[in-house]
Amino acid sequence: MQRFIRFICPMLLVCALLTAPVSAGYYPEKEHQPVDFSEMEFTGFDETNLKDAFSQMKALDSSGALEKKDNQTREEVQTLYAEIMKELDILSTQSSLAEIQYDANGANQEMAEASATIAVQGARLFDETVQVLRLLIDTPYQDILEDDAGKDNVSSMRNYEPLTDKQADLLDQEQRLVQEYDQIMSQPAEVVYEGEVWTSETLETADVEEEVYYEIMDLLDRSRYQAAGEIYLKLVKIRTETAKEAGYENYAEYAYETTYNRDYSIEDIQSVREAVKTYMIPISEKPLDGLTGRDIRKLEIQSRSGSAEILNAMEPFLRQTDPELAETFTFMSDYHLYDIDYTETKLPTGYTVGLPAYGTAFIFNSPYGDYQDYSDMVHEFGHFCETFHCTQRDIWANFNIDVGEIHSQALELFFTSYADDVFGSSGKTYRSIILSNILNSVLEGCLYDEFQAAVYQDPDLTLDELNQLFREISEQYGYEYGPNESSGFWVEISHTFQSPMYYISYATSALSALDLWLWYLADEPAAVETYMELSALSLSLPYREAVEEAGLRDIFQSETIPALAEELMAYLDGKPVQRKDAGKLESLWLLAPAAGLAAAFALPYTAIRRRRARVLAEESGEPWEL
């Protein structure tokens, strides 16, 4: 996941100093400070210099100097503009450092307060920045702004409305509710069973019968679900108010357009969801066919690694894929721009953030202790590489995470080709699981988007009604429930609380990543070239436009998802992959699946997914939970 700061979405990126030359290739030239992460200190943000630059720019405007063309005034404006951008980079970096410390230290109260404070501070200062820079519009110095921001952004600034006190208050309330959720999910739940107090920790060490164990565990889960669900109801109310303040009918539409800058709407995505249900659900479990619990355990044992082993495994893969990826990886490793080892205090999250004051980025991850840590690191490196090389100031950029997630998920799939080198005889197991995970990203992305969109379109639902809604929608995506099983586990998806309406980006990007991977299997050099070109594109380019630019297929065309499913079925059946060119998809027989798919669809199909896991039957009959 690529994190973005809520007040400046995402991170501003700035040039600094690079010790080693960057090879000429796909990425633009950029400088990076050779500073080890251990030397980067969170100090909070001192507004003095930024406010002083604001005052000087306002003084130029008040004096009438901005109305006249003058070389000295131009130099002053250029200097002030550069100072403002530099200070925003420091602010953004300090916010990133606060977030990293907050997540690394179990959301402790001191860092929770610091993180909330700098988020609200940042929203206010960002608002002031835009208002000050608007003074340059329609002056002889507008070109200074246009050269950096672009004409479209300057045009948008004309109609910019300052952040109201109410909007600032809503932002503060939202931030603090998200922190309450973090606290609930990071601390052990507590219930009373037959007069005795239980937590998950005391339960694990207790000598109780199996039936009692599961009864108490269910009570603990329900307690956590209830507490988190009540927080979500409050968030829905606040976000609905935020959307209405901005003139939107509901928060889902607001987030799609303003937060994620998507070039497709809630209505557009409905056809993708339906195609996924029709064509992707029937093949989503097939990658795991034939795997046993023994296979999974063997891979888990082989893949228990710390950061050094994971980085050592990635380096040859990246070096063989592209030299620029390898150079970026070396810089990241040399300056320790990552934290992926286990500690007891870490919150269960993973992401990449920019450190624009240094011209770099940082990867944070709370590991699982198995093969997932390899794919997570490869995934986050895809984000790191884009962020590390991006030269555009994101204060002016539209942030299209759908594009960014292609970078990460496609790299995960590429890495599976090296699984035998890393995991030996368990390489095939790793490949199967990662492909299953990517397919699951498609399903889960659609599921949680459909769920959240429904909630924000009906923000007065009670928690019981909300749980029932999730149950009904999730059953359409293959979930099954026991008679008394709770459907409240949706609260475990932190994005629903922290980054609302984000999840569809996993689905759209996973579909495009699968498209790129199928190309990789058929023509590796061409696919790698396409990947590098795509990852060098600015995230300002909208998803559908970026996909078209890269030569990938448009998932909103009715023939694309059936074609992807047909090609995936061929791969899973051990046949050579023959990727259909985007320009030739109209020749597909779409009214009925191709022979391979028809055979698959004719089979009885039951998808069983509970809490993102699938129970695999071992040869002995003993269940194994994945």
The domain segmentation of the chain, as residue ranges, is 41-163
Main-chain dihedrals φ then ψ at residue 290, nearest 5 degrees: 90, -15
The overall average pLDDT reported for the chain is 86
Which of 400, 495, 469, 477 has its CA nearest to residue 440? 477
Establish how many alpha carbons lie within 13 A of residue 250's alpha carbon, considering only the half-sphere containing its beta carbon. Answer: 16
**Would strands 615-617 and 623-625 be described as parallel, antiparallel, or unpaired?**
antiparallel
For residues 594 and 277, give the distance between their C-alpha atoms in angstroms, rounded to a whole number: 17
Q: Is 456 left (phi over 0), alpha (psi -120 to 50) or beta?
A: alpha
Report the alpha-carbon distance of residue 438 to residue 435 in Å, rounded: 5
Q: Give the chain's residues under pLDDT 70.
A: 1-24, 394, 397-398, 582-626
Strand order in the sheet with 360-365: 338-339, 360-365, 350-355
| 3-class secondary structure, 553 | coil
User: Tokens 């909300």 — which residue?
Assistant: 466
Kindly report the three-state secondary structure assignment for every residue of 21-76. Answer: CCCCCCCCCCCCCCCCHHHCCCCCCCCHHHHHHHHHHHHHHHCCHHHCCCHHHHHH
Q: What is the pLDDT of residue 24?
A: 46
DSSP calls for 183-251: HHHHS---EEETTEEE-HHHHHHS---HHHHHHHHHHHHHHHHHHHHHHHHHHHHHHHHHHHHTT-SSH
| 3-state SS class at 358 | coil
What is the per-residue pLDDT for 580?
Answer: 75
* Per-residue confidence (pLDDT) for residue 582, from 0 to 100: 57
Amino acid (1-letter code) at residue 274? E
Closest CA to 266 of 257, 277, 279: 257
What does the chain come to in residues?
A: 626
Backbone φ, ψ for residue 265 (5° rounding): -105, 175
